[in-house]
Amino acid sequence: MKISKEIKAGVISILAIALLVMGINFLKGNSFFGGDEVYYAYFPNSGQLAVASDVTLNGVIVGKVLNVEYVGSNSPEKRVKVSFNIQNSKVKIPRGSVIEIGSLDLFSKGMLLNLNADLSKGFHKPGDVIQGKLAVDMMAQVKSYADPISQKVQGMMSSIDKMINSVSAFWDTTATSQLEGSFKEIKIAIKRFGTVAEDVSMLVTEEKAKLGRIMTNVESITLNLKKSNDQIAGIIGNAKRITDDLVTADFKKVVGDAQQTIKTLNAVLETAQKGEGTLGKLLGDDKLFNELVETNNELQNLVNDLQLHPERYIHFSLLGAKTKGVPLTAIEEKKLRQLIDSIPD
């Protein structure tokens, strides 16, 4: 059977178109024959991710980026939508997994799939939205490390510049003259120190003689103390004997006698308080006290009258006349004379 040229041209055209479509899909990131599982993720920005970039899992390429578009969502975290596929049929994405946009190496960007180890929540189905995360790229990391160092270097350079300016200002003409003046003052100070040292040396020489005399006096004092050693020993011995006598004294007997005396006095006072005995009656009997006071008053009146008018009680007859007044016996007259003599003038 002979095939016409037109049929051959049509078949070739169909095959070319099919190869072109498959090539375009392959360039877009799909498998050559298609049929890949497609997923979606949202990010705050694209991170310079390009279509057909690799999707890796543990460093192995398992898919491609299909589309990167700006959706303009109100949420800052969902302004860029990325579509990607998984070309490896063995890869299943557990729920809770995260996909990141980051650097695959020094020059290329891609997506890194981090699978959740917990499989109890099940797996995502094609068409689901995977949680997206924008990783910090290498240049941003280098910049974050370099910026503080750059700031410190700038501050250090500023400090060095100030130090150089200060040194330059110090070594100008004015600073040199000030330095010479400082050296002159140091020289004068050293000379004064030498004068002070000489004065101190002379003072030490003078005080050395005084110190020698003081030591001589101290030596004489110690000799006198040595000579008086026997006398001091005797004084100490006498003091020791006195303390021994005080120690050996019968303090117990003295204290016992004092206690007995106090007991006797307490007994007398107790008897007097009860109204017993002469002292008790005198203290407790008001009548007896009043009678004693009255008798003392009468006796005082009698003595006073006797001093003023002795003739009322004693009459002496020089011529043998008759005796007047109250006659007294010899004993009564003797007692009366003793009473008169005992009265103070």
Q: Pull the structure tokens for residue 222.
A: 């110690």
Residue 342 has a pLDDT of 63
- Give the span between the Cα atoms of 345 and 339, in whole angstroms: 13
Strand partners, 43: 80
What is the tens place of the pLDDT at every residue in 155-187?
777 778 777 777 666 555 555 666 677 778 888
Q: What angle do CA 289, 275, 295 make, to 5 degrees?
A: 15
Residue 31 has a pLDDT of 58
Q: Give the residue ranges of the chain where pLDDT is below 50.
A: 32, 318-322
CA pseudo-torsion sign 319, 325, 329, 332: negative
Q: What angle do CA 55, 58, 62 make, to 5 degrees?
A: 35
What is the radius of gyration, based on Cα positions, of the chain? Answer: 71
- Give the span between the Cα atoms of 256 and 104, in whole angstroms: 116
Residue 319 has a pLDDT of 46
Residue 10 has a pLDDT of 78
H or E element at residue 201: helix 173-227
- Give the span between the Cα atoms of 131 and 128, in whole angstroms: 10
The answer to whether 86 and 55 are in contact (CB under 8 A) is yes
The answer to whether 42 and 78 are in contact (CB under 8 A) is yes
What is the tens place of the pLDDT at every residue in 255-289?
778 888 888 888 877 777 777 777 676 666 677 77
The answer to whether 82 and 111 are in contact (CB under 8 A) is yes
Name, in order, each residue with C-beta under 8 angstroms of 63's C-beta and a sequence gap of 6 or more. 29, 36, 54, 55, 84, 85, 86, 87, 88, 91, 111, 113
